[in-house]
Amino acid sequence: MTVTITKEENEKALECVLRSRGFSKRLITRLKRTENGMTRKGVLIRTVDLVYENDIIMINEGDGESLDPNPDLKADILYEDSEVVVFSKPPFMPTHPSHGHYTDTLANALAFRYAEQGVPFVFRAANRLDSGTSGAVLVARSRAAAAAFGHAMQNGGIGKVYLALLRGDGLSEQGEIDAPIARLRESIILRGVSPDGDRALTRYRRICSCDIGGERCTAV
Protein backbone atom coordinates (compact mmCIF):
# COMPACT_ATOMS: atom_id res chain seq x y z
CA MET A 1 0.00 0.00 0.00
CA THR A 2 1.01 3.64 -0.30
CA VAL A 3 0.68 6.65 2.00
CA THR A 4 0.60 10.04 0.27
CA ILE A 5 1.55 12.90 2.56
CA THR A 6 -0.94 15.76 2.73
CA LYS A 7 -0.38 19.48 3.23
CA GLU A 8 -1.42 19.13 6.89
CA GLU A 9 1.20 16.41 7.42
CA ASN A 10 4.06 18.40 5.89
CA GLU A 11 7.30 18.33 7.93
CA LYS A 12 5.99 15.85 10.47
CA ALA A 13 7.82 12.72 11.57
CA LEU A 14 6.71 9.64 9.64
CA GLU A 15 5.69 7.82 12.83
CA CYS A 16 3.41 10.72 13.78
CA VAL A 17 1.74 10.54 10.38
CA LEU A 18 1.31 6.77 10.51
CA ARG A 19 -0.16 6.84 14.03
CA SER A 20 -2.65 9.54 13.00
CA ARG A 21 -3.78 7.25 10.17
CA GLY A 22 -4.52 4.33 12.47
CA PHE A 23 -1.22 2.41 12.32
CA SER A 24 -0.68 0.69 15.67
CA LYS A 25 2.66 0.72 17.52
CA ARG A 26 2.86 -3.01 16.94
CA LEU A 27 2.42 -2.62 13.18
CA ILE A 28 4.97 0.20 12.97
CA THR A 29 7.49 -1.95 14.88
CA ARG A 30 6.82 -4.80 12.46
CA LEU A 31 7.41 -2.51 9.49
CA LYS A 32 10.77 -1.47 10.98
CA ARG A 33 11.80 -5.12 11.07
CA THR A 34 10.48 -5.95 7.60
CA GLU A 35 12.88 -5.72 4.66
CA ASN A 36 11.97 -2.55 2.72
CA GLY A 37 9.09 -2.08 5.15
CA MET A 38 8.91 1.69 4.55
CA THR A 39 10.50 3.43 1.56
CA ARG A 40 10.41 6.83 -0.13
CA LYS A 41 11.46 6.94 -3.78
CA GLY A 42 12.92 3.49 -3.35
CA VAL A 43 15.04 4.49 -0.34
CA LEU A 44 14.44 3.22 3.19
CA ILE A 45 12.90 5.83 5.48
CA ARG A 46 12.96 5.79 9.28
CA THR A 47 9.98 6.62 11.45
CA VAL A 48 11.86 9.61 12.93
CA ASP A 49 12.50 11.12 9.48
CA LEU A 50 10.43 14.10 8.39
CA VAL A 51 8.03 13.72 5.48
CA TYR A 52 6.82 16.41 3.12
CA GLU A 53 3.68 17.25 1.19
CA ASN A 54 3.12 14.91 -1.79
CA ASP A 55 5.73 12.41 -0.58
CA ILE A 56 4.64 8.86 -1.41
CA ILE A 57 5.61 6.35 1.25
CA MET A 58 5.56 2.71 0.15
CA ILE A 59 4.44 0.31 2.89
CA ASN A 60 5.50 -3.34 2.63
CA GLU A 61 3.87 -5.46 5.30
CA GLY A 62 5.46 -8.75 4.27
CA ASP A 63 3.67 -12.06 3.76
CA GLY A 64 0.94 -13.31 6.07
CA GLU A 65 -0.60 -16.68 6.82
CA SER A 66 -2.28 -18.25 3.78
CA LEU A 67 -5.64 -20.05 3.57
CA ASP A 68 -6.89 -22.99 1.51
CA PRO A 69 -8.83 -21.58 -1.49
CA ASN A 70 -12.25 -23.12 -2.09
CA PRO A 71 -13.67 -22.66 -5.64
CA ASP A 72 -17.07 -24.11 -4.69
CA LEU A 73 -18.11 -21.28 -2.35
CA LYS A 74 -20.32 -18.54 -3.78
CA ALA A 75 -20.86 -15.07 -2.32
CA ASP A 76 -21.14 -11.54 -3.67
CA ILE A 77 -18.72 -8.63 -3.35
CA LEU A 78 -20.58 -5.46 -2.31
CA TYR A 79 -17.55 -3.14 -2.47
CA GLU A 80 -13.84 -3.45 -3.10
CA ASP A 81 -10.76 -1.23 -3.33
CA SER A 82 -7.06 -1.58 -2.56
CA GLU A 83 -7.61 -1.44 1.22
CA VAL A 84 -10.98 -3.06 1.90
CA VAL A 85 -13.45 -5.57 0.53
CA VAL A 86 -17.05 -5.90 1.75
CA PHE A 87 -18.35 -9.43 1.30
CA SER A 88 -22.04 -10.43 1.38
CA LYS A 89 -21.85 -13.55 3.55
CA PRO A 90 -24.59 -16.11 2.85
CA PRO A 91 -26.38 -17.80 5.76
CA PHE A 92 -24.89 -21.03 7.13
CA MET A 93 -21.37 -20.12 6.03
CA PRO A 94 -18.88 -19.67 8.92
CA THR A 95 -16.83 -16.49 8.82
CA HIS A 96 -13.53 -17.91 10.12
CA PRO A 97 -11.94 -21.37 9.87
CA SER A 98 -12.40 -23.35 13.07
CA HIS A 99 -12.64 -26.95 14.24
CA GLY A 100 -14.72 -28.83 11.66
CA HIS A 101 -14.75 -25.84 9.29
CA TYR A 102 -11.32 -25.54 7.70
CA THR A 103 -12.30 -25.08 4.05
CA ASP A 104 -15.97 -23.98 3.93
CA THR A 105 -15.72 -20.46 5.36
CA LEU A 106 -15.90 -16.92 4.09
CA ALA A 107 -12.12 -16.75 4.47
CA ASN A 108 -11.68 -19.69 2.08
CA ALA A 109 -14.02 -18.09 -0.47
CA LEU A 110 -11.99 -14.88 -0.46
CA ALA A 111 -8.73 -16.84 -0.62
CA PHE A 112 -9.90 -18.44 -3.88
CA ARG A 113 -10.96 -15.09 -5.34
CA TYR A 114 -7.54 -13.54 -4.84
CA ALA A 115 -5.63 -16.71 -5.74
CA GLU A 116 -7.30 -16.56 -9.17
CA GLN A 117 -6.07 -12.99 -9.54
CA GLY A 118 -2.57 -13.89 -8.37
CA VAL A 119 -2.91 -11.45 -5.45
CA PRO A 120 -1.50 -12.33 -1.97
CA PHE A 121 -4.29 -12.34 0.59
CA VAL A 122 -4.61 -12.55 4.37
CA PHE A 123 -8.10 -12.70 5.92
CA ARG A 124 -8.57 -9.78 8.34
CA ALA A 125 -12.28 -9.44 9.13
CA ALA A 126 -13.20 -6.24 10.99
CA ASN A 127 -16.57 -7.65 12.05
CA ARG A 128 -17.95 -11.14 12.44
CA LEU A 129 -21.30 -12.77 11.76
CA ASP A 130 -22.57 -16.04 13.19
CA SER A 131 -22.68 -18.96 10.77
CA GLY A 132 -26.48 -18.77 10.40
CA THR A 133 -26.53 -14.99 9.90
CA SER A 134 -26.26 -13.43 6.45
CA GLY A 135 -24.96 -9.92 5.86
CA ALA A 136 -22.03 -7.64 5.12
CA VAL A 137 -18.57 -8.50 6.44
CA LEU A 138 -15.90 -5.80 6.32
CA VAL A 139 -12.48 -7.27 5.49
CA ALA A 140 -9.24 -5.27 5.60
CA ARG A 141 -6.73 -6.02 2.86
CA SER A 142 -3.77 -4.66 4.82
CA ARG A 143 -2.63 -4.54 8.45
CA ALA A 144 -2.91 -0.75 8.38
CA ALA A 145 -6.55 -0.92 7.32
CA ALA A 146 -7.20 -3.60 9.95
CA ALA A 147 -5.68 -1.35 12.63
CA ALA A 148 -7.82 1.59 11.51
CA PHE A 149 -10.99 -0.52 11.54
CA GLY A 150 -10.11 -1.91 14.97
CA HIS A 151 -9.68 1.60 16.33
CA ALA A 152 -13.00 2.66 14.80
CA MET A 153 -14.80 -0.37 16.26
CA GLN A 154 -13.46 0.32 19.76
CA ASN A 155 -14.54 3.94 19.59
CA GLY A 156 -18.00 3.45 18.15
CA GLY A 157 -17.03 4.60 14.67
CA ILE A 158 -18.64 1.61 12.93
CA GLY A 159 -22.36 0.93 13.31
CA LYS A 160 -24.27 -2.27 12.55
CA VAL A 161 -27.82 -2.66 11.21
CA TYR A 162 -29.63 -6.00 11.53
CA LEU A 163 -32.95 -7.26 10.19
CA ALA A 164 -34.49 -9.74 12.61
CA LEU A 165 -37.73 -11.73 12.82
CA LEU A 166 -39.09 -12.11 16.37
CA ARG A 167 -41.82 -14.27 17.81
CA GLY A 168 -44.70 -12.32 19.27
CA ASP A 169 -45.98 -8.78 18.80
CA GLY A 170 -45.22 -7.05 22.10
CA LEU A 171 -42.64 -4.48 20.94
CA SER A 172 -43.39 -0.78 20.73
CA GLU A 173 -43.02 0.94 17.37
CA GLN A 174 -39.44 1.91 18.21
CA GLY A 175 -37.10 2.07 21.17
CA GLU A 176 -33.64 1.23 22.42
CA ILE A 177 -31.95 -1.39 24.56
CA ASP A 178 -28.93 -0.13 26.50
CA ALA A 179 -27.36 -2.99 28.48
CA PRO A 180 -23.84 -4.42 28.96
CA ILE A 181 -23.09 -7.61 27.01
CA ALA A 182 -20.55 -10.30 27.93
CA ARG A 183 -19.74 -13.88 26.95
CA LEU A 184 -21.83 -16.43 28.82
CA ARG A 185 -19.70 -18.64 31.04
CA GLU A 186 -21.04 -21.90 29.65
CA SER A 187 -20.37 -20.94 26.02
CA ILE A 188 -17.53 -19.57 23.91
CA ILE A 189 -20.03 -18.19 21.39
CA LEU A 190 -23.19 -17.03 23.16
CA ARG A 191 -23.41 -13.55 24.71
CA GLY A 192 -25.82 -12.22 27.30
CA VAL A 193 -26.55 -9.21 29.51
CA SER A 194 -24.04 -9.03 32.34
CA PRO A 195 -22.89 -6.30 34.76
CA ASP A 196 -19.31 -7.23 33.81
CA GLY A 197 -19.93 -6.75 30.09
CA ASP A 198 -19.22 -3.97 27.64
CA ARG A 199 -21.87 -1.38 26.90
CA ALA A 200 -24.09 -2.34 23.96
CA LEU A 201 -26.65 0.14 22.64
CA THR A 202 -29.27 -1.20 20.23
CA ARG A 203 -31.90 1.04 18.65
CA TYR A 204 -34.78 -0.80 17.01
CA ARG A 205 -37.73 0.05 14.81
CA ARG A 206 -40.65 -2.24 14.12
CA ILE A 207 -41.12 -2.77 10.39
CA CYS A 208 -44.18 -4.99 10.34
CA SER A 209 -46.05 -7.80 12.09
CA CYS A 210 -47.70 -10.79 10.46
CA ASP A 211 -48.86 -14.36 11.06
CA ILE A 212 -46.46 -17.12 10.04
CA GLY A 213 -47.66 -20.68 10.45
CA GLY A 214 -50.33 -19.55 12.89
CA GLU A 215 -47.85 -17.67 15.05
CA ARG A 216 -47.62 -13.88 15.35
CA CYS A 217 -44.18 -12.58 14.34
CA THR A 218 -42.58 -9.13 14.20
CA ALA A 219 -39.85 -7.88 11.88
CA VAL A 220 -37.48 -5.26 13.38
Catalytic residue, candidates 76, 130, 169, 196 = 130
Q: Which residues contact 130 (CB under 8 A, 6 or more apart)?
A: 189
Are the CB atoms for 68 and 102 separated by under 8 Å? yes
Assess whether 63 carries a catalytic annotation: no
Are the CB atoms for 140 and 84 separated by under 8 Å? yes
At residue 133, the 3 state secondary structure works out as coil
At residue 110, the 3 state secondary structure works out as helix
Look at residues 75, 80, 38, 43 and name the one whose alpha carbon lies nearest to residue 57: 38
Q: Which letter does DSSP use for residue 7 in this model?
A: G
Are the CB atoms for 180 and 197 separated by under 8 Å? yes
Residues noted as catalytic:
130
